[in-house]
Structure 1
Amino acid sequence: MDTVTEAWMRMEDWLRRYAPRSAAVLAPPADPGELAAAQVTLGLIFPDELVESLRRHDGLTAWANVFPEAPLLSVAQIVEHRQMCMDVAESVDGFTPTEPGAEPWWHERWLPVAEDNGNSQVIDLRPGPGHGRLGWAVHDNGGDFSDAWPSLAAYLRATADALTAGGAVGHWHPYLNADDELWWSLVDETTLHGEALRPAPPLPAATASGLGTG
């Protein structure tokens, strides 16, 4: 089973080969000092798999549809977004579920790792069987872990699998747009701005089998 770094290596190889413009928006590794300071600021220890991912790429340098569900955040963006959600939750009683058994709008042990249109993908750091799962904090509703990934690593591996071997990540399928950029879309939504999306080609079998071993 791939480590986080090995999953990233497979994604990077695919992006360099088929979508170099998308590869170009992957940020360089996070600064170790910034990573340590962020954990002190937030009062949370980042999971090892998140640290490993950020040490590979500190988010993106510009918005891009590189990931099927939401763009990954940098260390600075994680701190900013989490603090914003904490402030909002404190002002609107967002820590309290609206009904028994429901998730609150926000929890102090949720750590955002990706965000799109106000909806953030969060790692659940609460103790218990759901610890480490990857779910959603929805901007206009309660949190949602009904279709959670068991971990950030599992999500990254699934993304690498869909690119290098073909397939989907949940409902999302990889395509190339007219500018040869990676674009994730639903199976029945195969145009973008009036131009056709092309199914993303998998890596040749011999190439794919040799990845993740370095």
Structure 2
Amino acid sequence: MRESWSRIDAWLRTHAPASFRVLAPPADPGTVEKAQMQMGLRFPSDLLDSLACHDGQTEWANVFPEKPPVPVADMVSFWQTSVELAGDDPDLCEPQEDGGEPWWHPQWIPWAHSDCDAQIIDMREGPARGRIGSSQHDDSASFHGGWPSLAAYLEDVADVLEHGGTVGPWAPYLTSDGELWWAFAGETTLNGSPLTPAPTSRKTQRTSS
């Protein structure tokens, strides 16, 4: 996890310094411990390692292909609101009749979110514990097409920044202001301004066979 963050940080410093400045400093350990107590959950080791590198972002920015990581205090706020909204309503907090996920479960950690939608870490017991999925404000949650862990997700982000490619459907670009921006592969403009495919790191660029 720390290696993935080191690679992401290095790429941002070189190619998109304005985006790097959006990343927050490490989280306060006391704040992290308090958050776990408030949520009644123990965070997975990869989330703890991530928070020891950056406590989310200081403002919204499209630095990641999914939702922007948030400070640990915002994780607690989103979690509390979602738990309160779901309450005991079986339509919201219980699996669907077809076996689909509920709208919200108290053992989900919203490590990244915006616009009332979240990228969640599933801490329910079982072989899939720690996997990454998505929670929608107007639909049930889903783990289809997600990652087995936060560590695997951030490693994918680091690999794509260094070597090229996509993270799911998202490809990295640079805006006309030199900021990192993730969009569908093949996009060429953002609000009428050009998008440039993000450069790879020369030392690690893959050679074509």
TM-score range, shorter chain: over 0.9
Task: Quote the residue 2:2 is aligned against.
Answer: 5
* Letter of the structure 1 residue corresponding to residue 179 of structure 2: E
Return the offset for 1:70. 0.7
Partner of 2:40: 43
Q: Which residue of 1 aligns with 2:123?
A: 125
Please state how far the C-alpha of 1:124 moved relative to its aligned partner: 0.6
CA positional deviation for 1:38: 0.7
Asked if the contact 2:108–2:121 (Cα under 8 Å) also holds between the matched residues in 1, the reply is: yes
Once the two structures are TM-superposed, the CA of residue 54 in structure 1 deviates from its matched residue by 0.5
Deviation at 1:175, TM superposition (A): 0.2
Aligned to 1:32: 29
DSSP 3-state at the match of 1:179: coil
Question: How big is the shift at 1:142?
Answer: 0.8
Partner in structure 2 of residue 156 of structure 1? 154
Encode CA deviations 1:135-192: one digit per residue, 9 max, x unaligned.
Answer: 0111111110111200000000000011111111010000000000000000132211
The separation in 1 between residues aligned to 2:15 and 2:89, in whole angstroms, is 46
Please give the alpha-carbon distance, in whole angstroms, between the structure 2 residues aligned to 1:107 and 1:42. Answer: 12
Gap regions ≥5 residues in structure 1? 210-214
The DSSP-based 3-state class of the residue aligned with 2:4 is helix
- Tell me which of 185, 190, 193 is aligned to 2:191: 193
| Separation in structure 1 between the aligned mates of residue 199 and residue 98 of structure 2, nearest angstrom | 46
How do 1:130-149 and structure 2 match up within 5 A? Answer: 130-149=128-147
Distance 2:175 2:146 in 1: 28
Deviations 1:57-77 (A, max 9, x none): 000001000000110011101
Q: Which amino acid aligns with 1:120?
A: A
2:94 aligns with one of 96, 114, 120: 96
Q: What corresponds to 1:212 in structure 2?
A: none
> 2:169 aligned with 1:171, yes or no?
yes
The aligned amino acid for 2:203 is A
Is 2:109 the counterpart of 1:114? no
Letter in 2 for 1:147: G
Match of 1:68 among 43, 57, 65: 65
The AA in structure 2 aligned to 1:5 is R
- Highest RCO, 1 vs 2 (Cα 8 Å, sep ≥ 6): 1
Give the conservation status (yes or no) of the 8 Å contact 2:166–2:185: no
| TM-score relative to the length of structure 2 | 0.94
What amino acid does structure 2 have at the position aligned with 1:169? V
The superposition leaves residues 83-118 of structure 1 with CA deviations (integer Å, 9 ceiling, x where unpaired) of 010011017541023424111101111111111222
For residues 117-139 of structure 1, what are the alpha-carbon distances to aligned partners after superposition, in whole Å with 9 as ceiling and x for unaligned?
22111111111121110001111
| Paired letter, 2:57 | L
Question: For residues 147 and 117 of structure 1, what CA distance do their matches in structure 2 show?
Answer: 21
**Matched residue SS, 1:56:** coil
Supply the RMSD in Å over aligned alpha carbons: 1.5
For 1:5 and 1:52, how far apart are their aligned partners in 2?
Answer: 6
What is the match of residue 57 of structure 1? Answer: 54
